[in-house]
């Protein structure tokens, strides 16, 4: 039996499980499988107690990164440090990292309680206190009443709670979650998002969460690392990603957006098909670029009179009534699509399909990204 | 009248005949074991349980049964340990895995006489001929392929995520094997154990090479008795063994039903 000096043992007197959030650092971590590179030199730096989400389409390298943090894969190069300790080549069972798996991975032959006791018993905690602490963990996920059930006698959401309790019961400094809500339906997913956030805050561990669901990422995270083709495209807060995307991929992946191709002229003027803004990209190199517009910063008018900022002539190709706002899909004369969300209060009589309109936005609302 | 019932009847008849062909020779020993005639294979009008009291009263049969049981249990234990570990390793898809898996089946296809001669030579050098240990080792070679095949079948259905989960929860290799792997492949282990037991219990060719007067197993003792005096005691023994195997087979079927 290993007698590792884990922080298993802290916080038991207070009647709460509590971990000391660990600092996680990835430096130039790279992994390839044969000829295909899954993760190109990724750098990440997590503060103790931070909730970081790795967001990206499938095959973008986020799960590979997670598996290197967990120790299931060894990076080809780069260093992983946890609380200042190099763990790049430490085997998974000596890392003291809690993990929640995509399909829960509860041991089918053990009851919920025994599943949660498992990591404590592996650490040589005696049966009695292991039991007490497992009960405490189940209480924190509000599942004490089902402790004796086998995994197959529990619903998806309940299994998810047991998996969560099992991952934090030994008070690890770092918790990893690999699309833990992927198998649940939408309503339950939303409940569990709140639940996971609450438990993680109570426990205090640093969290790395993997998902391909942008709403989940925006709701839960302190910061989000957006993955694409094995690179971290941008690492920022939800607000930063939405307001200041640095690549068209991020702009397209986070929230709705319209993209208009344009040219940056020397001096910073931006010229598109049927529109232009003066000197709005002064710090950019001249060349091809893309203008990103969030739908709520676009207004729709009957004509161009009184439009102070930028505007483009367009035709309404679709109108959707979405309760709080009206969603327009507009087609410019150059054939590009602009999306606009207009609050119901500002559009008492919405434009009909086929109407000729002007889409307008403030120059500072447009994000110009170089190709 | 359509022709379908005729075809159906023909199929039924063939099936019944094949079934009888398979089972009647085995069942023949049952009436023989209860018949009064003292020559095996001749049935007369009297019925008796004398052959059973002869069988259970004879110290030679009891000694042989005890030897067989010890050897079969030893073989089961050793081949389960080695076979389950082997199947675990092979389930990881190592580079030469398929080659090793193929090689591990060799004892099934090599004629037992060849194996017997080979083992006799090796065990003679190790001074293990005529010992229970030697026969356990030899029978383990014969039983191992069955254990590997049946445990591997369980591994093929085992999601590797359970082992990863155990790893992430702090379990080392030994703890994973005992606490997670073995319980999850238990159906294959139990089936493999039954195969291993039966393989050793029934085995005669290698046993003839490796046993002496004090370590004779049941099949060897039967063979020797058969060549000297053909009494219905053999039929009584056959019936007893038949009953035992039937119970074992039924147990295996029940387990398989649990699995599915």
**A234 with A336, same domain?**
no
In a domain, A107, yes or no: yes
Q: Could A109 and B159 be called an inter-chain contact, meaning their C-beta atoms sit closer than 8 Å?
A: no
Which of A141, A157, A154 shows the shortest CA–CA distance to A200? A141
The pLDDT of residue A5 is above 50: no
**A86 with A216, same domain?**
yes
The pLDDT of residue B161 is above 70: yes
B168 touches chain A (CB under 8 A): yes
**A50 with A91, same domain?**
yes
CATH number for position A295 = 2.40.50.140
In a domain, A362, yes or no: yes
Q: Best residue in B159, B169, B180 to probe A by mutation, most A CBs within 10 Å? A: B169
pLDDT score, position A149: 95
At a CB cut-off of 8 Å and minimum separation 6, what does A190 contact?
none
Which of A313, A271, A299, A318 shows the shortest CA–CA distance to A362? A299
The pLDDT of residue A3 is above 50: no
In a domain, A272, yes or no: yes
B171 touches chain A (CB under 8 A): yes
Yes or no: say if A124 and A3 are a contact pair by the CB < 8 Å rule: yes
**A173 with A83, same domain?**
yes
Q: Best residue in A119, A160, A164 to probe B by mutation, most B CBs within 10 Å? A: A119
pLDDT score, position A134: 96
**A199 with A228, same domain?**
yes
Q: Which residues in chain A have Cβ-Cβ distances shorter than 8 Å to B168?
A: 70-71, 92-93, 95, 97-99, 167, 176
Full domain range(s) for residue A158? 5-243
The pLDDT of residue A8 is above 50: no
Cα–Cα dist B23/A21, whole Å: 70
The pLDDT of residue A10 is above 70: no
The pLDDT of residue A206 is above 90: yes
| Token duo for residue B124 | 């003679």
pLDDT tens string B64-115: 999 999 999 999 999 999 999 999 999 887 778 888 888 888 888 889 899 9
- How far off is chain A from B174, nearest CA to CA, in Å? 10
**A127 with A16, same domain?**
yes
pLDDT score, position B260: 53
CATH number for position A206 = 3.40.50.300
pLDDT tens string B25-72: 888 888 888 888 887 777 887 888 888 888 888 898 999 999 999 999
- Could you give the strand order of the β-sheet that contains A36-46, starting from the edge strand earlier in sequence? A36-46, A24-33, A77-82, A85-86
Q: Which helix (H) or strand (E) holds A207?
A: strand A206-211
pLDDT score, position A315: 93
**A359 with A239, same domain?**
no
- Could you give the strand order of the β-sheet that contains A270-272, starting from the edge strand earlier in sequence? A275-277, A270-272, A258-264, A287-293, A367-370
| Domain final position from A213, A243, A273 | A243
| Domain final position from A243, A278, A302 | A243
**A221 with A310, same domain?**
no
Q: Could B184 and A166 be called an inter-chain contact, meaning their C-beta atoms sit closer than 8 Å?
A: no
Q: What is the mean pLDDT of residues B203-219?
A: 91
pLDDT tens string A249-265: 999 888 889 999 998 88
- How far off is chain B from A286, nearest CA to CA, in Å? 51
pLDDT score, position B18: 96
| Domain final position from A243, A277, A298 | A243
pLDDT score, position B170: 94
The pLDDT of residue A1 is above 70: no
Q: Give the residue numbers in A contacting B (CB under 8 Å), as ranges.
A: 2, 4, 70-72, 91-99, 101, 103, 105-109, 118-119, 122-123, 166-167, 170, 176
pLDDT tens string A115-169: 999 999 999 999 999 999 999 999 999 999 999 999 999 999 999 999 999 999 9
Nearest CA in chain B to A106: B162
Q: Length of chain A in residues, anyone?
A: 371
**A309 with A192, same domain?**
no
Q: What is the mean pLDDT of residues B132-152?
A: 94
pLDDT score, position A310: 87
- How many Cβ pairs closer than 8 A exist between chain A and B? 66
pLDDT tens string A264-299: 888 888 888 888 887 677 788 888 999 999 999 998
Nearest CA in chain B to A99: B168
Cα–Cα dist B98/B109, whole Å: 17
Find the angle CA(B23)-CA(B29)-CA(B32) to the nearest 5 degrees: 140
**A134 with A216, same domain?**
yes
The pLDDT of residue A11 is above 50: no
The pLDDT of residue A14 is above 70: no
- CB nearest to A103's CB, from B161, B168, B170: B161
**A129 with A176, same domain?**
yes
In a domain, A250, yes or no: no
In a domain, A177, yes or no: yes
Q: Could A93 and B165 be called an inter-chain contact, meaning their C-beta atoms sit closer than 8 Å?
A: no
| Token duo for residue A301 | 């008018």
Q: Could B165 and A108 be called an inter-chain contact, meaning their C-beta atoms sit closer than 8 Å?
A: no
Q: What is the pTM of this model?
A: 0.79
In a domain, A248, yes or no: no
pLDDT tens string B219-239: 999 899 888 877 888 888 889
* Domains identified in chain B and CATH numbers: 50-259 (1.10.3720.10)
**A87 with A150, same domain?**
yes
| Number of structural domains in chain A | 2
In a domain, A170, yes or no: yes
pLDDT score, position B1: 52
Q: Which of A173-177, B32-36, B155-159 has the highest mean pLDDT?
A: A173-177
| Buried b / exposed e along A117-142 (16+ C-beta atoms within 10 A) | bbbbbbbebeeeebbebbbbbbbbbe
pLDDT, chain A, mean: 89
Which of A82, A112, A114 shows the shortest CA–CA distance to A7? A82
Yes or no: say if A22 and A48 are a contact pair by the CB < 8 Å rule: yes
Q: What is the mean pLDDT of residues A187-201?
A: 91
- CB nearest to B167's CB, from A2, A4, A92: A92
In a domain, A150, yes or no: yes
Q: Could B170 and A99 be called an inter-chain contact, meaning their C-beta atoms sit closer than 8 Å?
A: no
pLDDT score, position B7: 86
Q: Which residues in chain B have Cβ-Cβ distances shorter than 8 Å to A101?
A: 161, 164-165
């Amino acid at each position: 039996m290993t007698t590792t000096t884990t922080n298993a043992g802290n916080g038991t007197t207070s009647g709460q499980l509590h971990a000391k959030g660990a600092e996680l650092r990835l430096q130039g971590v790279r992994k390839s499988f044969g000829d295909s590179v899954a993760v190109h030199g990724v750098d990440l730096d997590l503060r103790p107690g931070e909730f970081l989400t790795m967001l990206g389409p499938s095959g973008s390298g986020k799960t590979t990164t997670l598996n290197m943090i967990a120790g299931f894969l060894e990076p080809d190069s780069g260093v992983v440090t946890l609380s200042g300790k190099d763990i790049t080549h430490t085997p998974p069972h000596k890392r003291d990292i809690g993990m929640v798996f995509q399909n829960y991975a509860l041991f089918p032959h053990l009851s919920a309680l025994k599943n949660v006791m498992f990591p404590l018993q592996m650490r040589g905690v005696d049966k009695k206190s292991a039991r007490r602490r497992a009960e405490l963990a189940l209480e924190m996920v509000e599942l004490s009443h089902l402790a004796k059930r086998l995994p197959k006698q529990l619903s998806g959401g309940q299994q998810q709670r047991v998996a969560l309790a099992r991952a934090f019961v030994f008070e690890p400094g770092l918790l990893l979650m690999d699309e833990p809500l992927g198998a649940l339906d939408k309503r339950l997913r939303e409940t569990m998002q709140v639940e996971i956030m609450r438990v993680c805050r109570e426990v205090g561990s640093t969290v790395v969460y993997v998902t391909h669901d942008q709403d989940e990422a925006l709701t839960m995270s302190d910061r989000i690392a957006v993955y694409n083709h094995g690179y971290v495209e941008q690492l920022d807060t939800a607000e930063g990603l939405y307001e200041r995307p640095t690549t068209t991929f991020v702009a397209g992946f986070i929230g709705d957006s319209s993209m208009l191709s344009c040219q940056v002229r020397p001096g910073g003027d931006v010229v598109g098909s049927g529109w232009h803004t003066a000197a709005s990209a002064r710090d950019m190199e001249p060349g091809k670029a893309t203008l990103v517009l969030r739908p709520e910063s676009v207004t729709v008018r009957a004509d161009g009179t009184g439009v102070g900022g930028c505007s483009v002539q367009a035709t309404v190709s679709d109108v959707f009534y979405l309760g709080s706002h009206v969603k327009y899909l507009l087609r410019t004369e150059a054939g590009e699509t602009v999306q606009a969300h207009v609050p119901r209060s500002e559009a008492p009589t919405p434009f009909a399909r086929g109407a000729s309109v002007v889409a307008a936005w403030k120059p500072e609302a447009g994000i110009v990204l170089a190709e | 009248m359509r022709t379908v019932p005729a075809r159906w009847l023909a199929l039924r008849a063939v099936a019944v005949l094949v079934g009888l062909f398979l089972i009647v020779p085995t069942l023949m020993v049952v009436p023989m074991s209860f018949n009064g005639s003292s020559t095996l294979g001749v049935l007369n009008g009297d019925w008796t349980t004398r052959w059973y009291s002869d069988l259970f009263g004879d110290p030679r049969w009891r000694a042989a049964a005890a030897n067989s049981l010890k050897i079969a249990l030893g073989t089961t234990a050793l081949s389960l340990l080695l076979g389950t570990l082997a199947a675990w390793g092979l389930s990881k898809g190592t580079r030469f895995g398929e080659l090793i898996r193929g090689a591990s089946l060799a004892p099934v296809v090599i004629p037992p006489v060849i194996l017997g001669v080979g083992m006799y030579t090796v065990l003679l050098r190790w001074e293990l001929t005529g010992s229970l240990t030697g026969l356990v080792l030899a029978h383990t070679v014969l039983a191992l392929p069955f254990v590997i095949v049946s445990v591997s079948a369980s591994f093929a259905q085992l999601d590797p995520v359970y082992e990863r989960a155990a790893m992430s929860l702090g379990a080392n290799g030994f703890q994973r094997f005992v606490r997670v792997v073995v319980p999850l492949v238990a159906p294959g282990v139990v089936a493999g154990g039954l195969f291993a037991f039966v393989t050793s219990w029934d085995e005669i060719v290698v046993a003839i090479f490796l046993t002496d007067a004090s370590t004779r197993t049941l099949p060897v003792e039967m063979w020797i008795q058969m060549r000297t005096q053909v009494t219905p005691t053999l039929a009584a023994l056959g019936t007893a063994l038949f009953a035992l195997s039937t119970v074992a087979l039924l147990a295996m079927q029940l387990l398989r039903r649990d699995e599915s």
